[in-house]
Every structure is written in structure tokens, then in C-alpha cells.
Structure 1
Amino acid sequence: MSLTPPITLNNLSFAWPSGERALANLDGTFPSGRTGLIGANGSGKSTLLKLIAGQLHPTSGTAETSAPLSYLPQTLALEQDTTVAQLLGVHRVLAALEAIESGSVDPADLDAVGASWDAEARVRAELAPLGFDGLDLGRKVATLSGGEAMLLAVLGLRIADSPITLLDEPTNNLDRPARELLYDLVRAWKGTLVVVSHDIELLELMEHTVELYGGKLSVFGGPYSAYREQLETEQQAAEQAARTAQASLKVEKRQRVEAETKLARAKRKGRATQLSGGMPKILANHLRQKSEANAGKMRSNLDGKVDSAQARLDDADQRVRQAEHINIELPDPRLPSGKQVAALGPADHQFIIQGPERVGLVGPNGSGKTTLLKQMLAGEAPGPGLGGQLFLDRVGYLPQRLDGLDGELSAMQNVASVAPAATANDVRKMLARLLLRGDSADRPLAVLSGGERFRVYLATLLLAEPAAQLLILDEPTNNLDMDSVRQLSEALGTYKGALLVVSHDQHFLAQLDLDYLLEVGPRGTLAKTYPNPV
């Protein structure tokens, strides 16, 4: 007897209000156990998870689940008023317990508690191994680092113990120790787990890999490395088939030309014979008609062979993947080499960024890196502790939470707001170079994927007038696929201004050719170290 798959997609389609299709006629199933859902930025992974979770409603078709599910969205960090208790999913039980302790006999409170009279103690026991001893359960997400919020949210879903769980980019903002803690949670996960991620180490913990590519789902047995191995084998075969088909097409076209040459010669010879009077006219006409009929059959046969060879080439070419490339050109801000750009550290022991220096700011989750950036940008004077100061006005800032733009406005409108002199065509060209084309550029920012939103923010930096002399990027590789991370590092490599990057992605930092690292240590200390950072 076959078991019902935990998730089944039947002719699933979804279109945005503009009419643009995000997914069309998608069929497939997700297996039980741990599955990594992969695909390029903008391929529809987050949209698919929202459809499965019921956050979006299909235009047609269905996304069916065999059991209740829990869902962790990619945009968790934007929900600033959420409390720790809400992240952990225990806020209703704790509120009911507090009410009962205050004398409430409301049946609704008793129902909310159920058998969970020791809920707080059990939650505290779960928090301790993750380094959250004594954490205030009423604390707001806005006061947590992005990594702390994400780790707590994943723990909350583990506590909920739903038969099916969907996680969208759960390792965003996590430092190395926090990622290891999350990996441990995943290894011990019960039930069906579907994870959207670009984190290869996390994808290696999966039992299955499902790829969303070209509007179709493909299921591969094994983790990401097994998928890559199978895909590379398939691509090598497809490329060889394309080369063979191309060579075959050339042969058929050459034979077609050669046949036409022979037919033309035969026709000229027959005409010369007829004109010389060496053949009766009735016989000459009969031979001409027969020759033309044979020539027509030959042409039809040769044309068929050419068409068949072209079809084989087209089919082979469709199986060969062509990766799109982000094509961005960062403006030259003309920053003098002796110009002081920023100062970081305590007031009595600051590190100065000077001229077009490239600096990485690193440290564990919760150490204050993002807070430091916000203090600098707000112009707060440095105090005795960790602080910073800017000496420039032309600063471009890419926030970790991607919350500085208007989510109701389109990509076009958001970018146009920082570049009033740019024409609509200029803005569209910039977004197209960032692989945001057509209707995608006109959709509200809030409904774009994380990788697409990042590109809109990047476009606001690139078209800002005048060009920024310092770029401050806070966890820029969040939500980016592997190709996009590589392409971003290549683009930043040509930037002639100063660069300050906060990132837990050591491979990305290594690609940036940094001048030095500033590492946040215990009690807000700051130490200067030098690459190679990996």
C-alpha cells in the first residue's frame, strides 16, 4: 500500500494582480523526511511555500497537505513587534497561565493551558542549550539581532512539533556558532521538513533535494552534493548532444546545398541538349517534367532532414542550462585616497577608515554590529563603549532587514525616488541588468522574493545622486543564490569608493579582497585583524 505524500501539487498556478504568472501548471510531490527546495532567485520558491502554507491562494490548481503544518517566512525579521514568546509559539499559553495565577477562572484560559502547566519551564530548558539562559520572553524582535530572532523562531517550530514544517532561508543572519546550533536542530527534526536555502551545509543535511527550475519541479534523491553530481552529468550529456546535433545540422545543410548545385547543373545540361536540337520536343518535355518531379522529391526529402536536424538541436539546446548573469557597473565616486571616511571603536581608541579602503566588520550574533552601523548613520556621537562616526555625507546603506524602502511601491517607484534625474528607461535598464525585468519591476516590493528585494535596494544605491563614496552593506548575501553571491563580489571588486561590510559569510568576505577586518569582541571591544579572513 502506497503512503500519501505529505505535500502534493496538482496543476498549481499563481498569478500576481498585474497578471504576471509566478507559477504555471506545476505538478509534483514532496517526499517525507528532510527536503531542500532549491532554485535561482525569483524562480518562485518562496511563493510556492506560501501557497503550500495557505498564505497565498492559487489562481488555479491545488497545493494539498496530508497533515497540519507550520511555516517560517523569509521576512520574519520585518515583524519588529513580535515577542520572544510569540516566536516560540507559547505566548497564548503563558498569557493564560499568568491570568490564572492572577485569579482568573475563565474556561478559555484553562483550555489554552490544557496540560501545559509547566510550559515556561520546558521552554527555558529548550532555550538553555542555545545560549539563551534567562532570556526575557516578552522581549521584542526589534531588540534582537537578526540571527537571534531566526534561531528562536526555528526553535519555536521545533517545539510546535507539527507533522509538516516549512522553513524559508532559516540561516540568514546566523553566525557560525548559531548555524551549528540550527544544524543540530535540523538533524534531530521529526516529521516532514521542507527548507528553502542557499546554505550548502544546511542543504547537505537533507535527505532529498527538490529543484524548481523552468517552472517545473524535479526530485533528486540525496543532499545537495548528490543533486549537483547528477545535474553535472546530465548537463555534460546535454552539451554533448547539442554539439552532435549542431554537427548533424551542418552536414544536412551542406548536403542540401550540394544537392541544389547538382540539380542546377543537371537542369542546365538538359536545357543545352534541348536547344541543340538533338532530342524531340515531346521527349524533352517529358524528361524535364520527370526531372522536376524527382528534384521536388529530393528537395522535400532533404528539407525534411534539415528540419529534423534543427528540431534535434532545438531539443538539445533546451536541455542545456544558460545561467543569467547580473551585470552591474558601480559608479566612480571619486574618493580621495587621503580622505577620512569613518571611525569605529571606543572614543579613546578608534580605527579610521581612510580613502577607498575595504573593511569587514565581524563578530558573533548580538555583539552590536548592526547597532553600531545605525548609530553611525544616525550621527550619534561616539561614547566610551563601542561606537562609530561618519565623516562623509555621500553614504549608501544596505540594511540587514531590508526595511528602509516602501513595500507598497514597486521596484520602479522605489528606485526612481532616489534618482529623480533618471528617466524611466534608465531605471528599467538598471533593474534589467539586475535580472528584474518586465512585470517584476512593477510589482510591489513586499511581494518580491528576498533576492529580488535585495536587487532593488542595490539599484537604489547604484542610481543614487550623487554616487555614494562609502557603501555600508549589512549581511548582503542573505537570500542570494550562489551565482548571485559570486557576481555581487565581482561587482564590488570594481568599486572605487570605501566599503564597510558586515557578514557571517566567510567565503564572501574572502572574495572581496579586504584591506582588514574589525572584529567585535567581548564587552564591545574592537580588534583589527588582516585577511585572509577564512
Structure 2
Amino acid sequence: MVILQNATYIHPNKDILFHDLNLVLNPQDKLALIGNNGTGKSTLLQIIAGRLPLSSGQLQVGSTPYYIPQLLDSYNDRTIAEALGIATKLQAFLAILDGEATPENMAELNDDWTIEDRSRQALEHWQLHGIDLNQKLGTLSGGQKTKVFLAGIDIQQPDLILMDEPSNHLDYLARELLYDFIRETNKSLLIVSHDRTLLNILPEIAEMSKSGITRYGGNYAFYAEQKGIALSALDHDVKAKEKELRKAKEKEREALERQNKLNARGKKKQEKAGIPKILMGGLKNKAEGSSSKLKGIHQDKISGIKERLQDLRTHLPEIDQMKFGFQQSGLHLGKTLIEADAINYQINGKNLWSSDLSFQINYGDRYALKGMNGSGKTTLIKLLLGEYLPTTGTLKRAPINAIYVDQDYSLIKSNLSIYEMAQSFNTAALQEHEVKIRLNRFLFGKETWDKSCTFLSGGERMRLLLCCLNIASQAPDLIVLDEPTNNIDIQNITILTSAIQSYQGTLIVVSHDQYFLEEVEVTKEIALF
């Protein structure tokens, strides 16, 4: 179905994105493609889809792929029918029904007499009720756009399907429909995703990295287990090499001490024996040469060990280099922060929620805010943060320090450099070198400090925000995370998860990622209907 051999892609600016990649996807294979941001996963999908050319190498594709991109805004000016590639066929179908059975219309329809019914049934299946095929795609939400392209699978009925982060903007029910499709289909699938629930459904994982594509014969849980074993062995090798380095340095020190003692004893004997100064100088140079030679032998050995140790360390996960250490709020566990009694919010004179909301949020609670797209989750967040007032009911808020983190990490200001952004959170008046140490710890090296935040990826913005919170004098009392895993890869989700696990304040999370909710130990929920 897909054969990729020695594939290389070079950006127009001559930077090599990947080289010598090899991949085989057989008929009815279902394969997940994972890897860190920047390894070229999305680009590889575009190449297989025929949207981009290879710089070198060979690509064979057995049938026309159906491709669902991660970003769909480029289709905004097209109608749904145009975006799905069925506009001319539908026009031909309707023209034939009106009596225009021309050879051109018949050729365009190509005996696909169910195209209209199949299109409407597909849209209904994906919860796009009442959507007009002539409607512009730009009038739809992000989740609806994705559903349109998922409906296109039923309409086009392809044998090979390529998906790039298909669950990103889907609500819980739509995700379940996607998961069911993946389980039941006999089509060939190649899916780029960081959705661990989805990855556990797929029977095989392929990890893309700078060294190529490595396949694991199992789902994400199997992959994680195998990676854990490999990382445990790597950690053992690193520690063993560090021990070897310490011993080598100790041996060098002991050998040099012995040599220096021998040199000192020899010098005393020579002085007692009354050896002429000119000969003494020669013997001294010889002794120094022996010491230098001995030191050189040990330094060569130490350098070799250091080189091998550095190579091992480059394979360690970046998260191992980070220390989160959030300073804690001064509030005590259990203190009531927010108390809602029968609240509701009206839009155009109508209540947003079918039932009034009553709940209490205490310090240390971990809540999931759940509901379908359009159920009013963002509105409730604004109520909780004091930006809106309820139309009915009462909402009491204690004076708290709260931050709201959206899926684009908009707290990171694009007009600032990375260093300036870090300094804006420096309420504890840390010295400049201390701020830069924190930046280094969160993988922002010296070469990045003057870089504009405009050019940061989703994962980099998330890491910088975590670094800023680490720099701040005190952790916030309340953190609200709104779909925090949508635009970051698995590695950065792991970093975020570890940070949240070390945070002991109050957490409210809007997320359809059940795997993430379980990992950050959410135990309560507010459901909106």
C-alpha cells in the first residue's frame, strides 16, 4: 500500500528535516506515527498524500490516499462539498435529475447515484445535523471542521487513510465515534496523534526520530513499557559510566600522587648525593616528563569515558533534566475558594444550562469541567475567574491568585523575548544568572534567550510557562487548564503532567483527554448540559 525508501526532505532554506527514512504500510495495516515536535511527522503525511515532493528517495502508494490535515483553516473559503472534493459530482447529479443527462455530467457522476444520500448520512453520523453541503467551511467550529473531513471517509470510501491529530478538537462523543471507526474499519490507516486513548486502540506504534522510524509491535501501552525498559537500561548504563568516570579520576589522582612522592624522594637523594646542578636539572626534566606522560595516559582514558557518557546522556529524555519545585501557596488544604449556589447564565434571554449549577471548590481539589462542544465550559470558567457575573444564583469567591491557561498558552506574550518573558514573572527578584539557570533547566539555552516568543511551538510555549511559574515567588492558588494537551506532543504532555503532579494547589481542567485527566489525578467533575 505504501513503500517509502531512503526518503529525505530538505526545507526550501536547505535545512534537512529528515533523511533516509524507510516505511512500509501493508493493506489493512493500522499504524500510529508518534515522535517529538519537529521530527517531520506532518510533513511525511503530506508527502505520502502527494501534497509535498520528496527531496530524494522513493515513494510508492498503491491507491489514492484520503488525507485529513491537522490544520483546516486553509479550506475556510470553500464550501463543505468543495472541501470534500465532491462539489462537481453533486452538481452533475443534480443536473441529471433536472433532465441534463449530458455525456459530461454522466462522466462526472460515474454511476455514483448514492452520492447525495451518502453525503447526508455521513454528516449525520458525525453529529453534523442540519449542515448544508453548500455552507462555507469557515462558518464551522474547529471540531465541526474535523467532523466534516471524517465524514468524507464514508463519502469517498478510500482504501488508504492518513490522519494528522484527528481527535484534537473533538468532544467526548465525537472521539468515541472516531475510536469506534478505528476499531472496526478494514482500511489502511496511518495516524499521527498524541491522544493516548487513540494510540492504545491502534495495534502498532512507529516512532519517528532523527535516527529514523522504529516500529513497535503493540499499542501505546506496549510501546511505553518497551521504552521504559530501554530507558531503565540506559539509566543503568549512564550511572555505570558515571561510576567508571569517578574511578578513573580517582586512579589518576592516586597515580599522580605516587609519582609526585617518587619524584620528591628522588630529588632528596640526589641532593644528599651532591649531584651537580646541571645533572639535577636533567633529572628534574625527566621526572616532570614522566609525570606528564602518566597524566596524559589517564587523561586520554578519562576523555574517552566522558565522550561515551555524553553520548549516553543525549539519549536520555529531556524531562529528566527538569526540576519543577513549585513553591506552594500559603492557603491550607480544604479552604473554600469558590461556592456556587444555583447559578446560571443567560444568553439572549435563555439559560445556558438546562439545570442551575451548585458546587463548592476547596483548596487542593482537582476538578474536570466536562460537556459537549458549545455546552458553556468557557462561560463557566469566566464566571469562576470573576470575569462574568451569574444571571441567577449566587457565586462567592475568596481572594485568590488564579491563572487561566488556554490551549494556545496565550499567557506567553509574543512581543517579548524568552528572557523578557521569564523576567516578567520574577516577583522574587532573582538575580539574572538565577533566572537564566531556570531557563536552562527548562531547555531554553543561551542561544534562545533573545528569541521572540512569536516563534515558539505549542510545546515550547508550555515549557516556558512552566518555567515562568517556577520563577514566580509563589505558586497560584488556582490553575485552570483549557484543553492543555491539544497542540503539544507526547513528550511535552509528559512534561506538563509531571509539573501538574507536583503542584498541590487547586486545579480545574477542561479536557476530553481522559488519559491526561487520570494522570493528573482529577477526582471530581462538573458536568454541563
Length-normalised TM-score, structure 1: 0.69
Deviation at 1:171, TM superposition (A): 1.7
Deviation at 1:222, TM superposition (A): 2.9
Match of 1:530 in 2: none
One-letter amino acid matched to 2:513: D
| Match 2:22 to one of 23, 26, 29 | 29
Match of 1:350 in 2: 356
1:7–1:379 distance in 2 versus 1, CA, 3 Å: farther
One-letter amino acid matched to 1:503: S
Q: What SS does structure 2 have at the residue aligned with 1:368?
A: coil
Between the aligned partners of 2:327 and 2:76, the Cα distance in structure 1 is: 32
Gaps (5+ residues) in structure 1? 406-410, 417-421, 522-534
Between the aligned partners of 1:434 and 1:274, the Cα distance in structure 2 is: 59
Q: What SS does structure 1 have at the residue aligned with 2:11?
A: strand
One-letter amino acid matched to 2:9: L
| 1:19-168 alignment, distance < 5 Å | 24-32=17-25, 33-41=29-37, 43-50=39-46, 52-53=48-49, 55=51, 61=56, 64-67=59-62, 68-76=64-72, 83-86=79-82, 88-104=84-100, 109-126=105-122, 136-139=132-135, 141=137, 146-157=142-153, 159-162=155-158, 164-168=160-164
One-letter amino acid matched to 2:19: L
**Contact 1:14-1:24 within 8 A present in 2 as well:** yes
Match of 2:303 in 1: 307
**Contact 1:100-1:109 within 8 A present in 2 as well:** yes
One-letter amino acid matched to 2:357: F
Match of 2:317 in 1: 321
1:39-84 CA-to-partner distances (Å, cap 9, x unmatched) read: 23455433443455455677x5568453543322222378555655
**Contact 2:483-2:512 within 8 A present in 1 as well:** yes
Tell me whether 1:413 sits opposite 2:408 in the alignment: no
Between the aligned partners of 2:266 and 2:101, the Cα distance in structure 1 is: 111
Identity across aligned pairs (percent)? 28
1:435–1:369 distance in 2 versus 1, CA, 3 Å: farther
One-letter amino acid matched to 2:375: G
Deviation at 1:230, TM superposition (A): 2.3
Deviation at 1:380, TM superposition (A): 11
Deviation at 1:113, TM superposition (A): 1.6
1:177-227 CA-to-partner distances (Å, cap 9, x unmatched) read: 433321232234455422111222321233432223456543333322332
**Contact 2:7-2:56 within 8 A present in 1 as well:** yes
| Match 1:368 to one of 375, 381, 391 | 375
1:225–1:93 distance in 2 versus 1, CA, 3 Å: same
Deviation at 1:489, TM superposition (A): 3.6
Q: What SS does structure 2 have at the residue aligned with 1:308?
A: helix
Between the aligned partners of 1:121 and 1:54, the Cα distance in structure 2 is: 29
**Contact 1:414-1:460 within 8 A present in 2 as well:** no
Between the aligned partners of 2:424 and 2:43, the Cα distance in structure 1 is: 25
Match of 2:4 in 1: 7
Match of 1:503 in 2: 511
1:296-339 CA-to-partner distances (Å, cap 9, x unmatched) read: 5433332322222222322332333332659697999x999579
Deviation at 1:379, TM superposition (A): 7.3
Give the number of equivalent residue pairs.
Answer: 489
One-letter amino acid matched to 1:72: I
Deviation at 1:254, TM superposition (A): 1.6
1:492–1:339 distance in 2 versus 1, CA, 3 Å: same
Between the aligned partners of 1:37 and 1:164, the Cα distance in structure 2 is: 15
Between the aligned partners of 2:405 and 2:30, the Cα distance in structure 1 is: 33
Match of 1:298 in 2: 294
Deviation at 1:472, TM superposition (A): 6.3
**Contact 2:339-2:395 within 8 A present in 1 as well:** no
Decide which moves more: 434-443 or 216-225: 434-443
Q: What SS does structure 2 have at the residue aligned with 1:40?
A: coil
| Match 2:183 to one of 187, 193, 208 | 187
1:133–1:9 distance in 2 versus 1, CA, 3 Å: farther
Deviation at 1:270, TM superposition (A): 2.2
One-letter amino acid matched to 1:483: T
Between the aligned partners of 1:461 and 1:243, the Cα distance in structure 2 is: 31
**Contact 2:201-2:219 within 8 A present in 1 as well:** yes
One-letter amino acid matched to 1:10: A
Between the aligned partners of 2:11 and 2:499, the Cα distance in structure 1 is: 30
Deviation at 1:31, TM superposition (A): 2.4
| RMSD over aligned Cα atoms | 5.2
1:178–1:390 distance in 2 versus 1, CA, 3 Å: farther
Deviation at 1:389, TM superposition (A): 10
Between the aligned partners of 1:90 and 1:462, the Cα distance in structure 2 is: 52
| 1:325-344 alignment, distance < 5 Å | 325=322, 337=337, 343-344=343-344
Deviation at 1:155, TM superposition (A): 3.6
Gaps (5+ residues) in structure 2? 346-350, 426-434
**Contact 1:52-1:63 within 8 A present in 2 as well:** no
One-letter amino acid matched to 2:11: F
Between the aligned partners of 1:473 and 1:203, the Cα distance in structure 2 is: 23
**Contact 2:8-2:56 within 8 A present in 1 as well:** yes
1:35–1:390 distance in 2 versus 1, CA, 3 Å: farther
Between the aligned partners of 1:435 and 1:56, the Cα distance in structure 2 is: 31
Match of 1:519 in 2: 527
Tell me whether 1:261 sits opposite 2:269 in the alignment: no
Match of 1:220 in 2: 216
1:459-515 CA-to-partner distances (Å, cap 9, x unmatched) read: 99999xxx99997654333233331441464487546xxx76432234544566779
Decide which moves more: 106-115 or 220-229: 106-115
1:157–1:307 distance in 2 versus 1, CA, 3 Å: same
**Contact 1:208-1:221 within 8 A present in 2 as well:** yes
Between the aligned partners of 1:247 and 1:515, the Cα distance in structure 2 is: 43
Q: What SS does structure 2 have at the residue aligned with 1:413?
A: coil
Tell me whether 1:249 sits opposite 2:213 in the alignment: no
Match of 2:196 in 1: 200
